[in-house]
Amino acid sequence: MAVVAERAFTSRSTLQKVEAGDTNVSIGIYAGVLQALGLLDGLGQIADIGNDPVGQALASAELPKHVHLKRTVGSSRDG
């Protein structure tokens, strides 16, 4: 535990809070602990919408069915 805390640049008591899932510990501390354990690469997958089919379905449901583009003054189809 002391080695992980040292590598994560935190104290053993904070590391114990991380192990307990304390929500008052900053995300930076969690990232430091993941780095110390060699698990930081997985952190990027947490917010990846590709791993969240429910989130994808909810986001798709919010999309409009039809989109109407507004033309700016002076624009024409001929370019």
In a domain, residue 72? The reply is no
Domain count along the chain: 1
Q: Read off the pLDDT band of 77 (50, 70, 90).
A: low
In a domain, residue 74? The reply is no
What is the tens place of the pLDDT at every residue in 14-71? Answer: 999 999 999 999 999 999 999 999 998 878 787 788 888 998 888 888 888 787 888 8
In a domain, residue 69? The reply is no
Q: Which domain holds residue 44?
A: 2-62
What pLDDT score does 20 carry? 96
In a domain, residue 22? The reply is yes
Q: Is residue 44 within 8 Å of residue 17, measured between CB atoms?
A: no
Task: Compute the chain's Rg from CA coordinates.
Answer: 23
In a domain, residue 45? The reply is yes
pTM of the model: 0.58
Q: Residue 78: is its pLDDT beyond 60?
A: no
In a domain, residue 24? The reply is yes
Report how far Cα 66 is from the mean position of its chain's Cα atoms.
30
What type of residue is 50?
G
What pLDDT score does 48 carry? 83
In a domain, residue 75? The reply is no
In a domain, residue 42? The reply is yes
In Å, what is the CA distance from 31 to each residue of 34, 35, 65? 5, 6, 40
